[in-house]
Structure 1
Amino acid sequence: MLIKEQGDQAGTGVSEEILYRIDIPANRYDLLCLEGLVNGILVFQGKKEPPAYRLAKYEDIYSLHLTPATAQIRPYAVAAILKGVSFTKESYNSFIDLQDKLHQNICRKRSLVAIGTHDLDTIHGPFVYDALPPSEIKFRALNQSKEMTAPELMELYSTHAQLKQYLGIIRDSPVYPVIKDKNGVVISMPPIINGDHSKITLDTKNVFIECTATDLTKAIIVLDTIVCMFSEYCSSKYEVQQCKVFGPDGTYELYPQLRYRDELINVDKANNYIGIRENGNNLAALLSRMCLTTTHEDSTLRVRVPPTRHDVIHACDLYEDIAIAYGYNRIERRPCEVATTGGQVPLNKVTEQLRQECAHAGFTEALTFTLCSREDIASKLGVKIEAVPAVHISNPKTLEFQVVRTLLLPGLLKTLAANKKMPLPLKLFEISDVVLKDDKAETGARNERRLCAIYCGKAAGFQYVHGLLDRVMALLRHPWDKQTGYYLRQCDDPGYFPGRCAEVVLRGQAIGKVGVVHPDALAAFDLSNPCSAVEINIEPLL
């Protein structure tokens, strides 16, 4: 956390108020509101102990029941109750502001989690979380004067400055999520808008908080953060009432969980990682200042991680907090104790050198998309997609990006099609990776570095790209020889003109192809001028 003081110079401004700009890490959700920030500063200064959050016994009347239909759109929900809340205008604004910041941060603009807060005294439990066809949803939305159906609300908010960005989350779904109370009163249509009937005000004393989500872990974090930050305004300070949340199968879980857990770290290891020399008691004090109550036992630190610190996942997070509390500027600079010799990866070094030489040969470098359509690498080149070892995208957003490219040639052909107005001849090349499906690889696929060059002119003979191939082989010291070097071997490929295609063979292994592109392939890519191309795998050349 970085704090910078900003204020007017004497005599240059009208305000004497001092403002502080505070930079907060993205994973410190407990510092996104004034309550959490002030609490963290006071604990850090030793002026108070970290709060001890407690769970009050649940009441069955305030349970939340999920229907099977919710699995179609937002399958998870959690809930909690804050009782005896005393809001002031400042704390109320802070409460709303925290929700907005969480929505933009961990909730990913409500796509993962949507938060709803309601005046518990205006509604009656148990509550039902359902998913209904839009035409069956009708209620008075927040700050609206009349009831409207869900399609009417979607139309109304399509021009709303803030809410229009969330409509796409559910707009195309056959059902919309909705939460009702015992009497059928709609209190929320997440993730868009709450009902006006249950809106919270400065006079609200009991708050019902629900979070619907597509990610249960994120929902739990969001709920824990909100109730921990504002339970200090409850009549029973730092106490939160749980709710029973019933799943579609009838089983239930209690939320919020407000789980505390213990982590053990070694004193010597912490000192070595950070580069300091402090005894165990001092390290325990440093962690305690970060709201992580810690005790020292022999050479071990026992750290109590509270429900407000979901950012603490691993021991390295605890080392980081020790370093922050100690002060990065106080850590002594020391030279690296490991002697290493850095160097460029040979494949990348050769790639850069070949780029220079291809450019010297008169070819212009192109950089094409790694993703392409199935037609680009299959039907347009005269083969079936089933015969191509392509890695498919499970949920492609557009028809242009369905698979990871297995060839560089389609990308260069599309580049030529987009530059048909340029004077001929056009000479392009690209040296990049393709991805091939491989069951023997750990990930099921492997990368392969390739060089592809294409010549497009009024006459595209074999010799234009064959010359570049010979130049590349000469630079890499591979002679024209069947035993120790490379040679060309005639082959058939539907993407190339019959009788004008050859394999590039290096020491008995085919590493690519060279030839005149088939007229059908050119027509599929909307090209009318003849083209010749070469594409080889450069990894065996090293």
Structure 2
Amino acid sequence: MPTVAVDKEDLWERLGQSFTTEEFDKLCFDFGIELDEDTTEEVEAAIKKGLPAERPQLKIEIPANRYDLLCIEGISRALRVFLGKGEAPSYKLAYPPGGEKDLLEVRISKETAQIRPYFASAVLHNVTFTQRSYDSFIDLQDKLHQNICRRRQFVAIGTHDLDTITAPFRYEARPPKDIKFAPLNKDKEYTADELMTVYESEKHLAKYLPLIRDSPVYPIIYDSKDRVLSMPPIINSEHSKITLNTRNIFIDITATDLTKLNIVANIISTMFSEYSAEPFTIEPVRVVYPDGRTVITPDLASRPTVARASYINSCTGLTLSGPDASALLKRMSLPSSVNPKNADELAVDVPCTRPDILHECDIMEDAAIAYGFNNLPDTFPTTSTVAQPLAVSKLSDIIRHEWAYAGWVEVLPFILCSHEENFGWLNQTDDGSTAVKIGNPKTLEFQVVRTTLLPGLLKSVRENRSHALPLRIFETSDVVLKDTKRERQARNVRHAAAVWCNKTAGFEVVHGLLDRAMAMLEIPRISSADKEAETGYYIKEKPDPTFFPGRAAAIFYRAPTKKSSVGLKLRSLLHVSEGDLEIGKLGVLHPEVLEKFEIGYPCSALEFSLEPFKKQMPSLWTNDDL
């Protein structure tokens, strides 16, 4: 969830009262947000030491879909309404004296369809900024860019001093060699090609360059005198930059997603319209598309919808009347009224600042928040059920407890790993039919879903190699394998694995660990040559490139003959056609494997599947869908 830092005293002033940290923490919880940190103590400690310190701040975690709470302006408005200290503001469009014909106009060229086809705009007149409100304005843009705009991929915002530019404006897309201007905070003019090189070394902007770098045309906004306003989504121009002294602000918003464009246009304009000479008024802008279509932006109209008091009651266990439910919704800045013809029906006007309200369940949630989650009645469910752990989870707990009692430490590495870690570093080859691969991995560390627990264990040894020897670690968790017989084309298999790292290899240690696990599962040890034994396990030497030659063995399990149908199902699950089931392996790890994982001591490893040992349960309660 995004975290918003607000000035503590400024927020108290806006709310009309002060709170202790505990009181404000409770208020945040009641409202559905979370106080993450109060920096007052840190600031006071710094002042006592004679160190420079900022004003105390409150760091508040905001739900990811509440874009209206990403700045102090939105938080304070919502909390004032929640506390009953005022009503939700009514945002309105303020047309110039000449009406719609005198609106500022932006014309869009057809070439923009190749790169960022959508455009919106707004104007804030006679704005008065302080340093804190100016910083909040800039910070909100950044929060929106990182959140709904997905790092400017879907939407990019630009703000300009309207008094330095001249309408009408043009939004075009040109070849980069034909674009030249002085970007923000630079005196020299650069072509767009040159800017791609200049900003490669700037951490803040370099991450946005790939958004347009490979395009044959770059988006660019001009005024009527051919002065550049911005090159979205990269940088604004130095000529039109806003300052503390800016009084009239022109906001440009370009996008690849029309829905997100409208949301961002509404949020950025409404949040800071309170600083206009006439608070909460916004001058719209006429946007003319290449096909002649005209759109007036932003659209501040509320969205009418319907909620039912009976639905709210059924979900919360309350017995609210229509007027009571309406009063709760007003506390959450959702104006509503009871239908005079149907006392159960509420007419709700969803404001333009609440795009998170999509369905009736969202309205019900707001009513529950206003009532107070802690105040909701406790009721027994109308049906009674008896819970029980999954069979494989119960098995896992047996292994975890016994190995922990034996002095081994459990680790919880990631289930994703690199392709090399899963195959090449273990001296294994990828046959293309085993591992589930990530289609578009964000990093090289997360390319495949692991098919073995060993990479995570060995990486844990590597990161803890400074600890005293021996290192004894284990994990019981799932691996994922491709399975074309299933609808989802993959299946989870529960494995148990352990690694011993010491100055000596310790094959006998992991062998003993296997014996202990089998003893607790009541699986007897048998000889591989014993054909009379009904059930049991044994190990048998088997070459494996992950392990040192001659120091590797496979683990075999013989399912009880009285459960022959179970044994057949297990053989199918583990792709074994006949004979005893090969369920795992153990041995001394190959030096090449240790070298790739940067481990300087010999290690022994054990890994086997727990699936054959789980008790049969109704398929409805399991992950089995064969």
- Shorter-chain TM-score above 0.5: yes
Deviations 1:367-425 (A, max 9, x none): 44433221222233343223452222334344343222211123334455566777876
Matches of 2:87 and 2:510 in 1, distance apart?
76
Residue of structure 2 equivalent to 1:222: 264
Match of 1:16 in 2: none
Within 5 Å, which residues of 2 pair with 1:192-203? Answer: 192-200=234-242
Cα-to-partner distance string for 1:138-191 (whole Å, 9 max, x where unaligned): 3234465554556887898899xxx85344322796367543335432211344
- RMSD of the TM alignment (CA)? 4.6
Match in the other structure for 2:536: 485
Compared CA separation, residues 131 and 494, structure 1 to 2 (3 A): farther
Give the Å deviation of 1:215: 5.5
For the pair 1:538 / 2:610, whether they are aligned, the reply is yes
Please give the secondary structure, in 1, of the residue aligned with 2:357. coil
Query: Structure 1: which amino acid aligns with 2:227?
Result: V
Match of 1:280 in 2: 322
Q: Which residue of 2 aligns with 1:434?
A: 479
- The aligned amino acid for 1:198 is S
Q: C-alpha displacement at 1:234, in angstroms?
A: 7.9
The whole-number CA distance in structure 1 between the counterparts of 2:547 and 2:60 is 59
Instruction: Tell me what 2:556 maps to.
Output: 504
8 Å CA contact 2:265–2:298 kept in 1: the answer is yes
Given that 2:318 and 2:376 are in contact with CA atoms closer than 8 Å, whether structure 1 keeps it comes out as yes
Distance 1:417 1:38 in 2: 51
Give structure 2 stretches of 5+ with no counterpart. 1-10, 21-43, 45-55, 527-532, 560-579, 615-626
* CA deviation profile, 1:266-304 (whole Å, cap 9, x unmatched): 212213433433311232243245432323232222212
Point out the more displaced range, 431-440 or 526-535: 526-535
Asked if the contact 1:44/1:290 (under 8 Å) is kept, the reply is no
- The percentage of aligned residue pairs carrying the same residue is 39
- Residues 497, 515 of structure 1: 8 Å contact kept: yes
Structure 2: which amino acid aligns with 1:62? V
- Which residue among 98, 112, 118 is the counterpart of 2:137? 98
Alignment of 1:311-460 (within 5 A): 311-326=356-371, 331=375, 333-337=377-381, 347-361=392-406, 363-387=408-432, 389-416=434-461, 427-441=472-486, 443-455=488-500, 460=505
Select the residue among 90, 98, 109 that pairs with 1:51. 90
Matched ranges for 1:224-303 at <5 A? 224-229=266-271, 233=276, 238=281, 240-244=283-287, 246=289, 255-258=297-300, 260-297=302-339, 298=342, 299-303=344-348
The code of the aligned residue for 1:130 comes to: A
Change beyond 3 A, Cα 1:346–1:189 = same
What is the aligned partner in structure 1 of residue 204 from structure 2? 165
Deviation at 1:224, TM superposition (A): 0.9
**TM-score after normalising by structure 2:** 0.68
Cα separation, partners in 2 of 1:136 and 1:388, compared to 1, 3 Å: same
Separation in structure 2 between the aligned mates of residue 63 and residue 259 of structure 1, nearest angstrom: 23
In structure 2, what residue type is equivalent to 1:87? V
Residue 535 of structure 1, CA deviation: 0.9
Question: Residue 624 of structure 2 corresponds to which residue in structure 1?
Answer: none
Q: Distance in 1 between matches of 2:57 and 2:455?
A: 55
SS of the residue 1:63 aligns to: strand
Check the 8 A contact 1:115/1:191 in 2, yes or no: yes
Number of residue equivalences: 521
Equivalent residue of 1:434, what SS?
Answer: strand
Change (3 A) 1:360 1:132: farther
Residue 204 and residue 412 in structure 1: after superposition, are their counterparts in 2 closer, same or farther (change >3 A)?
A: closer
Displacement of 1:533: 2.8
SS at match of 1:296: strand
Bigger shift: residues 374-383 or 528-537: 528-537
CA distance change for structure 1 residues 210 and 61 in 2, over 3 Å: closer, same or farther? closer
Counterparts of 1:60 and 1:194, CA distance in 2 = 19
Summarize deviations over 1:102-126 as a string: whole Å, max 9, x none: 4225644971343212244623334
Unaligned runs of 5+ in 1: 8-12, 14-18
Residues 415, 479 of structure 2: 8 Å contact kept: yes
